[in-house]
């Protein structure tokens, strides 16, 4: 046995107490449980100490982590503990439906007693916070990280379409095909907006949600740019009372070069420069144009001094919230709150500013025990690059979507890996080994796989320990 030591010395402790149990009378035996259990457990078994101090408010991991349960009709029930879910799986009374977050489905009829679950969504441009609570505890919380590659993918789509159309000699004319449907949104905004719906749909699949509350914002873009604006000035743009764009920029910059900070003279030649290049999505608006000397403009491009220019504020987040603020009520049938309400309630509770904490306050949380936080990442499910022009070889054309995609999990030689990519017409996948090096393996060596959908949940400790030996029968 491992020798156990205590860092705390107890007073009035008998040193000659026999360790052998008395076979005649059990009353004479020393009690096995110690009086100061917290200190002894912290010294003797470090694993228990880690469990006690994990998560928020010094709660145990098993108390903060829940396994989501579905009935026989795949309708959500109230979640259960990790221990009970493990017993249901061992006895064959439940099967695994989803691995992250861990979800099981019961194989027998049960009652339909459900508590009222409130869901709070902290909407955002780059991150989304979510939290679901009952009267006594929080069931799930986390943040969704959105990707910002929609505009780049649209430019790639434009290139592929142009190349495909140039391969045809004749294309019949098409008319009246540029009409946008009612409720149309720009693609970058549409994808972010739909991600909010996908997250709510995922939470409804896991929990019997009774009410949904979404935080929105109302921003005055012109007042953010000019706090002194008022009255009729809203209808007068930046170029009002100026003859052209050049005169406005000269007046705005006060005839000072942004690079060398030197005034202009009659002998100097000046030139306009796009702060964000047009090749990267920059516009010709006045807030994207800088005033430079001609020599400074040449020096800027030669020495790559783009970071020295002042970048004006971008109001993409504010514009996004102004567009979608009332669409939630129409499409989601939810209750709306504003940011200042969340700010006041969070300060009253003394909670740190995070997206998941904001969602906790939005859902109506106050003193509930918080759960473990999930980190959810957004994944691209389809790849537009179906053809590659290889020098000296014929074009490689992908004719179907492979079964194993990036970010999926595979088990090879009793070890689980993340897939980075696939090649050889989907017959081989690329993974990273223990030394973080790329390695190509055959699909035939994969004895188990798990397909991640568009939202990837970062696995928790309890989820991985429960589902390690459980058969996965289906994924959603």
Q: Along the chain (476 residues), what's the average pLDDT of each consecutive run of 10 residues?
A: 46 43 44 37 31 35 75 93 93 90 92 90 93 92 90 82 72 71 87 92 94 91 85 84 84 83 74 82 81 86 82 82 87 89 92 92 90 89 64 66 86 88 86 84 89 79 37 38
pLDDT of residue 256: 85
Residue (of 259, 236, 260) closest to 248 by Cα position: 236
Residue where the block lists tokens 């393996």:
441
Residues of the chain with CATH 2.30.30: 387-452
- Half-sphere exposure in the Cβ direction for 139 (13 Å, CA): 26
Residues of the chain with CATH 3.30.420: 117-162+185-219+318-371
- Per-residue b or e along 32-64, where b marks 16 or more CB atoms closer than 10 Å to that residue's CB: eeeeeeeebbbeeeeeeeebbebbeeebebebb
Percentages helix, strand, coil for the chain (3-state, rounded to 5) are 30, 20, 45
- Per-residue b or e along 145-169, where b marks 16 or more CB atoms closer than 10 Å to that residue's CB: ebeeeeeebeeeeeeeeeeeeeeee
Domain over 117-162+185-219+318-371 is classified CATH 3.40.50: no
Residue 272: how many CB atoms within 10 A of its CB?
Answer: 13
* Torsions phi, psi for 217 (to 5 deg): -135, 155
- At the topology level of CATH, where does 387-452 sit? SH3 type barrels. (2.30.30)
Residue 463: how many CB atoms within 10 A of its CB?
Answer: 23
- The pair of three-digit structure tokens given for residue 360, joined into one six-digit string: 């906790």
């Amino acid at each position: 046995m491992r020798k156990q030591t205590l860092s705390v010395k107890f007073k009035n402790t008998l040193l000659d107490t026999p360790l052998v149990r008395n076979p005649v009378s059990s009353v004479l035996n020393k009690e096995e449980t110690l009086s100061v259990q917290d200190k002894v457990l912290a010294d003797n078994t470090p694993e228990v100490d880690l469990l006690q101090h994990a998560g928020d408010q010094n709660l145990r991991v098993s108390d903060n982590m829940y396994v989501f349960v579905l009935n026989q009709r795949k309708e959500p029930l109230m979640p259960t503990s990790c221990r009970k879910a493990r017993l249901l799986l061992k006895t064959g009374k439940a099967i695994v439906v989803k691995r992250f977050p861990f979800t099981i489905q019961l194989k027998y009829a049960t009652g339909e007693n459900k508590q009222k679950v409130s869901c709070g969504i902290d909407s955002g441009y780059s991150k989304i916070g979510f939290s679901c609570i009952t009267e006594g505890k929080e069931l799930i919380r986390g943040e969704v990280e959105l990707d910002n590659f929609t505009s780049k993918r649209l430019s790639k789509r434009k290139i592929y379409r142009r190349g495909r159309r140039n391969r045809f000699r004749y294309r019949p004319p098409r008319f009246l095909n540029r009409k946008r449907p009612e409720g149309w949104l720009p693609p970058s905004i549409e994808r972010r907006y739909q991600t909010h719906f996908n997250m709510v749909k995922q939470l409804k699949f896991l929990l019997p949600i009774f009410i949904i509350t979404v935080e929105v914002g109302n921003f005055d873009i012109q007042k953010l740019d000019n706090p002194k604006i008022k009255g009729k000035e809203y209808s007068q743009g930046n170029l009002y009372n100026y003859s052209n764009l050049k005169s406005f920029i000269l007046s705005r910059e006060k005839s000072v070069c942004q690079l060398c900070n030197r005034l202009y003279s009659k002998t100097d030649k000046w030139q306009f420069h796009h702060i964000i290049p047009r090749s990267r999505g920059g516009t010709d608006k006045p807030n994207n144009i800088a005033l430079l000397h001609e020599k400074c403009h040449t020096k800027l491009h030669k020495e790559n001094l783009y970071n020295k220019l002042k970048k004006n504020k971008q109001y993409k987040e504010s514009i996004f919230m102004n567009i979608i603020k009332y669409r939630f009520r129409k499409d989601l049938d939810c209750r709306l709150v504003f940011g200042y309400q969340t700010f006041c309630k969070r300060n009253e509770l003394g909670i740190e500013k995070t997206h998941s904490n904001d969602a906790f306050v939005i859902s109506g949380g106050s003193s509930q025990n918080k759960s473990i936080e999930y980190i959810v990442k957004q994944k691209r499910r389809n790849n537009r690059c179906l053809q590659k022009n290889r020098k000296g070889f014929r074009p490689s054309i992908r004719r179907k979507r492979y079964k194993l995609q990036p970010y999926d999990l595979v088990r090879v030689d009793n070890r689980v890996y993340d897939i980075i990519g696939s090649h050889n017409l989907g017959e081989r996948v690329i993974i990273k080994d223990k030394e973080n090096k790329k390695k190509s393996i055959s699909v035939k060596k994969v004895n188990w796989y798990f397909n991640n959908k568009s939202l990837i949940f970062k696995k928790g400790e309890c989820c991985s320990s429960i589902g390690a030996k459980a058969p996965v029968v289906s994924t959603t």
